[in-house]
Each structure stands twice: as C-alpha cells, then as structure tokens.
Amino acid sequence: MKYSDLADKTVAELNAMLKEKKTELFTLKIKQKMMQLQNTSELRVAKKDIAKINTALTAAAN
C-alpha cells in the first residue's frame, strides 16, 4: 500500500481501512504468540500500513 493511494480516499473509507488493518494486526499477533505465524514480516507491514492510514487521516482533517 502506498500513501498516494490513500490520499484520494474519504475519511469514512480511511476509518474502515484502519479498523480492518488493526483487526489484521491483532490476528497476526495472536498467531505469533501461538507459534503459527510463518512470515513475521507481515507484522511490520501491517504496522506501517496503519501508520500510513493515520497519516492520511491527519492530512484529511486539515
């Protein structure tokens, strides 16, 4: 996911995406704790996506 893809989305779409990514991050953390996560870099990608969405939300609010 690139920031340029997020810049033209509405606040409602961004909030929906944020909720989805936070749920995904939660499930990834659970899988990691239970030793079922094969690719641990997915955690880093999910965190970065959440940060990008939060940045787009902040920019949209201004």
Confidence class for position 61, pLDDT limits 50, 70, 90: confident
35-55 per-position pLDDT tens digit: 999 999 999 999 999 999 999
Q: Domain span at residue 26?
A: 3-61
How many domains does the chain divide into?
Answer: 1
CA distances from 45 to 10, 40, 53, 62 (A): 22, 9, 12, 26
Q: Fill in the amino acid letter for 4.
A: S
Asked if residue 3 lies in contact with residue 55, where contact means CB atoms within 8 angstroms, the answer is yes
Confidence class for position 30, pLDDT limits 50, 70, 90: very high
Q: What is the pTM of this model?
A: 0.90
CATH at 24? 1.10.287
Confidence class for position 25, pLDDT limits 50, 70, 90: very high
